[in-house]
Every structure is written in C-alpha cells, then in structure tokens.
Structure 1
Amino acid sequence: MLTSSSRLKSGRPSLSGSSDNQPNTLELLRDGDQPFIYDIRFSKKTFTLKLYDTSNPNQHWTTLRPDVVVLAFDISNRDTLAGLKEWRNDITRYFQYGHGERLPVMMIGLKRDLRKEGEEIIYPQEGYRIAQELRCDRYAECSAVTGELLAETFEDLARLAAMTTTEKGGQSEGTSCVIL
C-alpha cells in the first residue's frame, strides 16, 4: 500500500538514506510480519510502502486488489526467471479491474551483490529486455545485503504507485495503494 504522510507512524524503517552515507540496513523479514512497511520520502512528500509477499501463509495473493505488482527474481540464478512469464499471465488473468485500467508492473532483479562473471548471471541488459517482453512498466536491480540501489528501487516503486493513484489515494477511491 502507498499512503500519504498523514498516515505515518513512528518506529518504521526509513529508506530515505542515512546521514553518514552508510547503506540502509533492514531487519529480518518474516512472513508473519506482513505487510512489510517502509517510509520513503521523495518529491517533497513522505509515503508509506506496504508490501505483501505472495508466499504469505495468512493472505492468499488473489484476494488482494493491488495497485502495483512487483515481479522479482534472483539475478545470480537464471532459474528464477522461468516463472516470471507465468506470473505475468496470472496478473493479467486475476487483476482485470475493467474501465480500461491497466495494473502497473515493476520487475526487480534481487541480490545484485552476487553478480559475478558466469553463465547463470543475468546482466542488466537482459533484465531490461525481459521486462520489456513481459510489458513491465519499470525495471530495477538492488541488493538488500549491501543496500546498493535499494532506496532508489523503493523510490521507483513508490513513484510508479503514486502515478496510479487519485488525490484520494487509490486508483478509483480510498486512501491507499496496495503493492503485491
């Protein structure tokens, strides 16, 4: 979900960067803690990202009405790309809202810190190409371990979600934007 600053609560991790130029550190994420909530600031506004993982045992992903979907894969493991096309088809099948609305999709390459020379590695050019083939709206890569491009990836995700919202917050009504 993406909400305006009026709904912010203290004590949540911030992805706006640290003052000492150290990468952001994220706590261990557990399925029972979903949604995962992060505050982010860009364009002079503060947003709250609430992310739901499809593996959450307490919430089946088809019961959500997301405003943005993230397709994620491990850039060090080519096998993780195999399921993205099927996931993309499921998104189209399960989330047809009508009225000409199209659900924005962002593809994210994870574990950027593991990129080394080798046959299994997915390089950025290939990631962009696959994102285009899958008709994704954005492509990004990041590393949760090193923090490399993490804040920028969340900012891109928030920007994509914000582009889909009305002044009330949702695509059509409400005060939040769900990210699956």
Structure 2
Amino acid sequence: MSQLCVIRVSSRLVRDPNPVCCAQVFDNYAVTVMIGDDPYTLGLFDTAGQEDYDRLRPLSYPQTDVFLVCFSVTSPASFENVKEKWFPEVHHHCPGVPCLIVGTQIDLRDDPQVLDKLARQKQRPITPEQGERLARELGAVKYVECSALTQKGLKNVFDEAIVAALEPPVVKKTKKCIIL
C-alpha cells in the first residue's frame, strides 16, 4: 500500500523520522486532512505482508481506528488473501475496528498485457461486484477501488476511511430470549 499512500499525499507527505520498528516491517506516514474547518491527522502504517513478519505485524495494530485491507484487482491470489489471511488477522487482533476492502491498480483491469497474462492462467481481473460481494460477506464497512497511477478513486479511499474512523458502525446486539 505504500505506493497508494505516497501518491495520494505526495505534496504533504511526511515520513516518520522515528519509526516504531524497522522500516522493512512498517513504513509510517503522517498526513493532515481537512474536513470542513477541522484538521485530522492520519497515521498511515504500511505493513509487510511476508510470512516472516506474521508475528511482528500485529504490533502495529493497537490504537488503529480503521483498517484498509488492499489487494490488486489484477491478482486473484491477493483477492483470496483478503478473505483467507488479512481480514481474519485484523479482526482477530482488533475486533470491532472498521475495515474497508480496497481494490488497487484499477488502471490495469483492462490492460491487454495483463488480460493476456491472466487468460493464460485461466483467470480474470476482479470486478467491482466481486469486491462488493466480498465486503458484504466479511462485514467490511465498504468496498472501494483506486489507482495510484491515475489517482482515480484515491481521494475517495481516504475520505471513506476517515468517515469509517469517525463514525464506526453500530454493533447490532442480538436479542436473547429468556424464559422463566
């Protein structure tokens, strides 16, 4: 997700001079976003996805207000990892924290070379409908898409993240039937 964050905030990007942990595990950025007249500082933590960091990665999770679980729309394997790895990991360590599913690299969804490569593997790009269906299935706040290259949808990703952090979803209480 580094590329996603860096391009969105390139004119205001501040790399944390004192990262919490080694740069290979966490890259930290701070961004100030105005909502109305109020400034909000977003701390963006891009975490390493390699299996070697499975035990260290959750150290960046405490005090998180919203998670952006990202995958490439041109990688069915990364889409599957949202369901099999990332969403379960986030909700294990931070139950109740809002989560957005983010499809990235949408500029490549119709790229002939990408389509050819996927076709040779009998695969296709992930559609917006598939992303929305997965978000509903997992109970994510929303599904959004963007391209760091063209910046299409990029502002919306961060706007939706801010809204989710400021207005977390109401947890539905299950009614219990008590018979005396």
TM-score band w.r.t. shorter chain: 0.5 to 0.7
Contact 1:38/1:49, CA 8 A, preserved across alignment: yes
SS at match of 2:46: coil
How many positions carry a matched residue from both structures?
138
The yes-or-no answer on 1:141 pairing with 2:134 is: no
Calculate the TM-score normalised by the size of structure 1. Answer: 0.65
Distance in 1 separating the partners of 2:149 and 2:11: 8
Higher helix fraction (1 or 2):
2
The Cα offsets for residues 69-106 of structure 1, whole Å up to 9 and x where unpaired, read as: 1110001111111211122112222224xxxxx11111
Which residue of structure 1 aligns with residue 177 of structure 2?
A: none
Contact 2:27/2:47, CA 8 A, preserved across alignment: no
Distance in 1 separating the partners of 2:72 and 2:58: 23
Aligned CA RMSD, in angstroms, stands at 3.1
Q: Which has the higher contact order (CA 8 A, sep 6+)?
A: 1
Calculate the TM-score normalised by the size of structure 2. Answer: 0.65
Which residue of structure 1 aligns with residue 81 of structure 2?
A: 83
Q: Give the % identical residues.
A: 23
Which residue of structure 1 aligns with residue 175 of structure 2?
A: none
**Structure 1 residue 42: Cα displacement:** 2.7
From the CA coordinates, give the structure whose radius of gyration is larger: 2
SS at match of 2:47: coil
Q: Which runs of 5+ in 1 are unaligned?
A: 1-12, 17-23, 97-101, 165-180
Contact 1:75/1:110, CA 8 A, preserved across alignment: yes
The Cα offsets for residues 31-88 of structure 1, whole Å up to 9 and x where unpaired, read as: 838312222223442222111122187x933123122111100011111112111221
Which residue of structure 2 aligns with residue 52 of structure 1?
A: 45
Which residue of structure 1 aligns with residue 101 of structure 2?
A: 107
